[in-house]
Amino acid sequence: MSHSKKAIVIGAGIAGIASAIRLSIEGFEVSVYEKNDYPGGKISEFNLGEYQFDAGPSLFTQPENIEELFALAGEPIEKYFQYQSLPISFKYFYDDGTVINAYTDNQAFAEELENKTGEKQAALLSYLESSKKVYQNIAGLFLNNSLHQIKTLFSPGVGKAFATLRWKYLFKSMNDLNAAHFTKAHTIQLFNRFATYNGSNPYQAPGMLSLIPHLELNQGTFYPKGGMISISNALYQLALKKGVRFHFSTPVDRIIQHENSAQGVVINRKNRFADIVVSNMDVYFTYQRLLLDPFKATEVLKQERSSSALIFYWGINHPFPTLELHNIFFTKNYQAEFESLFTTKKAYADPTVYVNITSKMEPGLQAPGGKENWFVMVNVPANMGQDWLELRAKYRVAIIEKLNKILGTDIEPMIEVEEVLDPVIIENRTHSYMGSLYGTSSNSKMAAFLRHPNFSKKIKNLYFVGGSVHPGGGIPLCLKSAAIMSRMVAKDFKEK
């Protein structure tokens, strides 16, 4: 195919790679510039001795977003990427000794909840049905289209979306909605947890976030063969196949603007010209560093940042047959934990702990036989200059204490190797401002509409993708941002 139009993508995160693939299919000659020496952004991996770890996101849902890219490219996905569905999405451990398996078969999950907590089966089944309707009738429209273009309001399905909207989805908090629907504290806490999927607080975020469980429990939870890194690898290989050129260890200095139009980028004092520029960099840093527009950068910060994460990567020299791929060890007081995350922004003494163990899925590959690779994460406030060395030490003690109590053992002597990731390192590695995992939080009623659009209203031919812009953070939404952007580009260039 002869390419007459040129596109530059800044950043080889998952949205950047997906954007490059889509633009190449649209007929652009695409160059991707990435400051790190690897593709994938937050989806990366590393080895510690005999153990292999996925460094970033660990939950895989909505594989259709990836399948769509291969279908568009006319490439057989099975040559690049395989995945399997999970019978249990998460295993939940509570402070009082209750243990709940969240089966991806809704009936089995309903029976489990009733057996373990007394929650009526009908309550779960009707909740998941509502979650499905909200997703299909409302979210599907707004997550797959720009909220910042008037034409979206006239799209097919808008009438149905507004008909489905209920007061509770916009004006009740997620916790209030869950507490009104379920009768048992264990169930309410379990469903409040889904607010953390975009770094938000269930006691503030709107009930609309009750659509998130649909992705995991109705549509299914999956494991990509080879771990999460295989998502980055598959899309990177697909991009190469479509002729995309990647330039690693090549940070962009700034975006070239002329007469309110993006015309390329400056790299190492050299101009690289293009018809369009797509930034997969955090939108705050795009304005502050690449567009030299501190006023607009400050405007972006008017929205509250999402929470961040503190992750311990532990090589554990002992098997734990009672654990699954995804495990949650809940705090006793969830509301106090979120108060600490978003209001006081201090370390919380009894954090909820997430343990991901990919060696459960492929024994012997990511950890030696009889051993396990533990990805141990707690939600923490975004970086505001806290003493992270002190916080790391505090959280490490709290995590080990919690795991020891619930698992009835002493974890510390089993840790053979250890690495730590904190918000400062997250910001340095991935240019996520303040180490926020999802850009801005969804704690306000209007958060979805206040997210930065996938285009610039003032600079022509400049587009934005990734977790800091519409529709939000996390792998599925980052991939959707690339789809929204590419449709805009196709329309904009058709009109030229």
Q: What pLDDT shows up at residue 148?
A: 52
pLDDT grade for 45, boundaries at 50, 70 and 90: very high
Tokens of 187: 């169930």
Q: What pLDDT shows up at residue 319?
A: 97
Tell me the mean pLDDT in the region 268-285.
Answer: 96
Q: What pLDDT shows up at residue 320?
A: 98
CA angle 104, 226, 220 (to 5 degrees): 15
Per residue in 371-390, pLDDT (tens digit) is: 999 999 999 988 889 999 99
Tell me the mean pLDDT in the region 178-188.
Answer: 97
Tell me the mean pLDDT in the region 184-195.
Answer: 97
Q: How many other C-beta atoms lie within 10 A of the C-beta of residue 420?
A: 16
Tokens of 223: 């494991």
* The model's pTM: 0.92
- CATH for 5-43+227-303+451-494 (3.30.43.10, 3.50.50.60, 3.60.21.10, 3.90.180.10): 3.50.50.60
Q: What pLDDT shows up at residue 161?
A: 47
Q: What percent of the chain has pLDDT over 70?
A: 90
Distance CA 400, CA 378 (A): 12
Could you tell me the residue ranges of all domains in the chain? 5-43+227-303+451-494, 115-217, 304-430
Average pLDDT, the chain: 90
Q: List C-alpha distances in Å: 171 to 202, 367, 393.
A: 13, 47, 39
Q: What pLDDT shows up at residue 154?
A: 45
3-state secondary structure of 431: coil
Q: Which of 55-59, 134-138, 185-189 is the least confident region?
A: 134-138
Question: Residue 265 — left, alpha, or beta (φ > 0 → left; ψ -120 to 50 → alpha)?
Answer: beta
Q: What pLDDT shows up at residue 167?
A: 44
pLDDT grade for 156, boundaries at 50, 70 and 90: low
424 vs 413: which has the higher pLDDT? 413
Sequence-separated (6 or more) residues with CB below 8 Å from residue 385: none
The alpha carbon of 96 is separated from its chain's Cα centroid by a whole number of angstroms, namely 30
Q: What pLDDT shows up at residue 382?
A: 86
Tell me the mean pLDDT in the region 393-410.
Answer: 97
Per residue in 428-478, pLDDT (tens digit) is: 888 787 877 766 555 545 455 568 899 999 999 999 999 999 888 889 999
Q: What pLDDT shows up at residue 301?
A: 76
Tell me the mean pLDDT in the region 144-166.
Answer: 52
Q: Does the pLDDT at position 25 exceed 70?
A: yes
The alpha carbon of 409 is separated from its chain's Cα centroid by a whole number of angstroms, namely 32
Q: Which of 123-127, 152-156, 454-458, 466-470 is the least confident region?
A: 152-156
Per residue in 334-352, pLDDT (tens digit) is: 999 999 998 998 889 999 9
Q: Does the pLDDT at position 399 exceed 60?
A: yes
Largest Cα separation within the chain, whole Å, is 67
Of the ranges 54-58, 121-125, 198-202, 306-310, which is most confident?
121-125
478 and 466 Cβ atoms separated by less than 8 Å: yes
Sequence-separated (6 or more) residues with CB below 8 Å from residue 490: 26
Q: How many other C-beta atoms lie within 10 A of the C-beta of residue 365?
A: 14
Q: Does the pLDDT at position 1 exceed 80?
A: no
Whether omega for the bond prior to residue 471 falls within 30 degrees of 0, making it cis, is yes
191 and 210 Cβ atoms separated by less than 8 Å: yes
